[in-house]
């Protein structure tokens, strides 16, 4: 979650229609996720889940600094049904690991685990500066995790927001309990 600018995970794709096989799955921003869903839901009802999976794969899979696929039509042209099933079985689990989403994840479980991680002594040097990324005023405190991760608020992933909220909660509770 704390990778900058986004969490990612390398994946090997042993598929015949794909170049050399080493790729990276990158976390999605909420906007990228929503665009993928909107495009999928514009498809006929029976095709929506398949289009959503294609869209997620196209949005998160990178070869170097560029997306591996331009869109779902390219996937359909390159891969047969079995190859797409293999691709899906590698890419989507990796996406769900690096890109928890308020839309599709068990956020309570994610938050609990992130709090455990933020509270561990070995993570204090990461959790404290992350939790301190706030603006404070006489009316309250406003989160500013983009300062830690770099970029803009719109570029933050849901996982980065979850990590910030967990670190902030842990540090606030630690200060209260002295």
- 139, two tokens: 């009316």
- Chain centre distance of CA 101: 7
pLDDT of residue 73: 64
Q: Residue ranges of the domains in the chain? A: 8-98, 107-176
Local confidence band at 28 (pLDDT 50, 70, 90 cut-offs): very high
**Which H or E run contains 37?**
helix 30-41
pLDDT in tens, 95-109: 999 999 998 899 999
pLDDT in tens, 70-96: 766 677 778 888 888 989 999 999 999
Q: Which CATH class is domain 8-98?
A: alpha beta
pTM of this structure: 0.83
**Which H or E run contains 25?**
strand 22-26
pLDDT of residue 5: 78
The mean pLDDT value of the chain amounts to 89
Cβ-count burial of 3 within 10 angstroms (0-12 exposed, 13-18 middle, 19+ buried)? middle
How many Cα neighbours within 13 Å face the side chain of 85? 3
- Higher-confidence residue of 90 and 20: namely 90
pLDDT of residue 147: 95
Does pLDDT of 1 surpass 80?
no
Which residue in this structure is represented by tokens 């998160």?
A: 60
Does pLDDT of 158 surpass 80?
yes
pLDDT of residue 97: 92
pLDDT of residue 79: 83
pLDDT in tens, 36-77: 999 999 999 998 999 999 999 999 999 888 898 876 667 777
pLDDT of residue 131: 96
């Amino acid at each position: 979650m704390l990778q900058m600018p986004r969490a990612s995970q390398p994946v090997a794709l042993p598929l015949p229609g794909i170049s050399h096989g080493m790729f990276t799955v990158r976390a999605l921003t909420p906007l990228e996720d929503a665009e993928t869903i909107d495009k999928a839901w514009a498809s006929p009802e029976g095709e929506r889940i398949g289009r959503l999976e294609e869209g997620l794969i196209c949005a998160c899979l990178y070869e170097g600094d560029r997306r591996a696929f331009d869109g779902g039509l390219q996937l359909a042209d390159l891969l047969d049904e079995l190859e797409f099933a293999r691709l899906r079985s590698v890419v989507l689990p990796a996406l769900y690991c690096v890109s928890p989403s308020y839309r599709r994840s068990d956020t309570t479980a994610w938050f609990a685990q992130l709090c455990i991680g933020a509270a561990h002594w070995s993570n204090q040097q990461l959790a404290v500066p992350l939790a301190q990324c706030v603006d404070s005023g006489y009316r309250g405190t406003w989160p500013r995790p983009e300062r830690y991760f770099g970029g803009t608020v719109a570029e933050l992933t849901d996982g980065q927001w979850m990590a910030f909220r967990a670190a902030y909660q842990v540090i606030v509770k630690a200060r209260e309990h002295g």
